[in-house]
Structure 1
Amino acid sequence: MTTEPFEAAWHRWERARVHMIEAVGVWNDFIADHDAFDFSLDGDGTGVYVLRVLQHRQVPSDLALALGEWLYNLRSCLDYVVWATASYVAGQVPPPNEGVLQYPIYDEESAWKKNQYRLKGLHPHHREMLLTMQPFNSDPDANYLGWINRLARIDRHRTLVTGAARIAQLDPVLQVPDKAETNLEWGERTVVDGHADVLRVTVRPYRPGMDVRVNPRVGIDPEIEEWSRSPFWARWPFDDRLKMIQVFVAGEIATYEYDCTGGGRKPDMVTEGFRAESDARRGPVSRLARNRRPVEWEPARPAKRSTRERFEGVDFPSHGAGPKDAAAPRTGQSSDNGWTRSQRRLCHWPCRCAC
């Protein structure tokens, strides 16, 4: 257990970034052969045409797995922030009542009020800071915390988030006969059930057999289908969204770390005004005490008699070691499940081994 508790939040943040990069690799492999998507322009015989994006292969489930791990680590970061802050308030690791501590993210004020007991280990100004960040105190759709929480809950408690494809760039060029006029209606941007109707074109005047063609000029990005329903976030390219949320979470860690310690990994992410407020109210920062549990001794029982050989460690470790190997001290031994077990016998003077 670390006595620098904000380090755990940064480790989770770094792990989230690893999974973000992993998701990029899964998507790039998926589209590398250029056969996952195709396009069609279908007319109904009246001068109305629909530009459709067709998906021939499902997005690999590994994309959803990587994005789910990304969400899990970011949500854990936030919980770690509250735990670390409570540790500094109490001056000990772990903090009191650590089992109820949680970073609050609520869409409704009633849920915030109902769960105030989860924040008793924090200073009043910490609770005010958390209150300001709540989705119910802003546009719930635009609030990044709200979406981290919603998507992480889906992945953690229900099923994988739905890896999908989204039309990130759409700049079609139409070829129509001279003197024909076109009206455009923009449609779906997320590919669902194998297709997306992205554009409807009406050509007037229309004549049967009219030659109408299109260069779709489409760019397709990965997507989380549930997230694509957000009017605010759907405007941003998927890669930009992930990077923005990584930055937002880093800012949250940096803010509470500076408030508690006067420093941290990324103090430059904290505004000068907030640093001045924190410095003014913060007392001396002392090293956190580690609160160890008392040892729980088992009931006493008589010891068994042994032998000189066992005292000298001749038969230890016994698993997988022959008589020749058993005479040398060991620092580790592979078990049947592949893990290495640390095993070592004490050496006595005179000892010339490299243990």
Structure 2
Amino acid sequence: MYLHAPQPFPADLSVLFGEWLYLLRSALDGLMYEIVVHDTQLDPPKNASRIYYPTFATANGFTSKFKMQGLSDGTRKRIEATQPYHSTGGHTGSALWWINELARLDRHRRGHSLVWRIVEIHIELPSGVFDAEGVRICDQLKAFIRHDEELEVAVMVAKPGAIPNPNDGIDMSWDLQFDVPEWINKVPSSYGVWGIEERMQNAEIVVHETIEMFNAFFRRG
């Protein structure tokens, strides 16, 4: 069984998704600006145009490349604690890493195309006709229904010598969500099982909690 979308998603949705990424990435960079102002007591601080919130995939990358001057040890430790390489499953399981990566692609290459994705599928077959062990179902983490190519949803093999009855039905149902393929292709399965709405909510929560962590730290100081 094959599926394809009759037409692509409207381009306006890609623009809106890009705006969402821009707002989250800007919130992180704005936080970093305020962190540097707080620690250096300079407003504007030196090299203000080069201030950004770091998101590194490895501890070595953070140690060797994050050279922001004027930060206290406490501030640096807290920034390090938020880095994507601490996430379960590695950096690709981190919302902060994906905010930066997707925003970078959106800003420097092209907007992200949205497609339909099968997030759950159920198939019930007539027991006397099809071999249940021979059924092959698509990888639901990568089950994208595009307008320009067909998706092989399932392959069903009849038992040797079985004669299908016109009244034998195949019951199939699935749940669809729109998604961004680039956000799924490299994630650990524990993160990829979330739908895009859950991942977007998680990203907003992580940014909010990161901001609140520094607010609380500075109030204590």
For the superposition of Structure 1 and Structure 2, which TM-score range results when normalised by the shorter chain? 0.7 to 0.9
2:74 partner amino acid: H
User: Does 2:176 correspond to 1:217?
Assistant: no
User: Partners of 1:180 and 1:112 in 2: how far apart?
Assistant: 55
Match of 2:79 in 1: 130
Question: Which of 184, 207, 220 in structure 2 is aligned with 1:228?
Answer: 184
Match of 2:155 in 1: 200
Provide closer, same or farther for how the CA distance between residues 204 and 88 of structure 1 changes in structure 2, counting only shifts above 3 A.
same
Report how far residue 101 of structure 1 moved.
1.7
Asked whether the equivalents of residues 129 and 158 of structure 2 are also in contact (C-alpha less than 8 Å), the reply is no
User: Partners of 2:212 and 2:7 in 1: how far apart?
Assistant: 42
User: Partners of 1:75 and 1:255 in 2: how far apart?
Assistant: 17
Match of 1:115 in 2: 65
User: Partners of 1:146 and 1:249 in 2: how far apart?
Assistant: 11
| 3-state SS in 2 of match to 1:93 | coil
Structure 1 residues not aligned, in runs of 5+:
1-50, 263-278, 283-355
Relative contact order: is structure 1 or structure 2 higher (C-alpha 8 Å, sep ≥ 6)? Answer: 2
Q: What TM-score, normalized by structure 2, do the two folds share?
A: 0.84
Tell me the matched-pair count. Answer: 211
Match of 2:7 in 1: 57
User: Partners of 2:127 and 2:165 in 1: how far apart?
Assistant: 7
1:258 partner amino acid: A
Q: What TM-score, normalized by structure 1, do the two folds share?
A: 0.54
Percent identity at matched positions?
23
Question: Which of 179, 191, 203 in structure 1 is aligned with 2:145?
Answer: 191
Provide closer, same or farther for how the CA distance between residues 150 and 111 of structure 1 changes in structure 2, counting only shifts above 3 A.
same
User: Partners of 2:5 and 2:199 in 1: how far apart?
Assistant: 23
Structure 2 residues not aligned, in runs of 5+:
none
Asked whether the equivalents of residues 71 and 148 of structure 1 are also in contact (C-alpha less than 8 Å), the reply is yes
Please show how residues 224-263 of structure 1 align to structure 2 within 5 Å: 224-229=180-185, 230-232=187-189, 233-260=191-218, 262=219
Higher helix share: 2
Asked whether the equivalents of residues 117 and 176 of structure 2 are also in contact (C-alpha less than 8 Å), the reply is yes
Report how far residue 195 of structure 1 moved.
2.9
Higher strand share: 1
- State which structure, 1 or 2, has the greater radius of gyration over its C-alpha atoms: 1
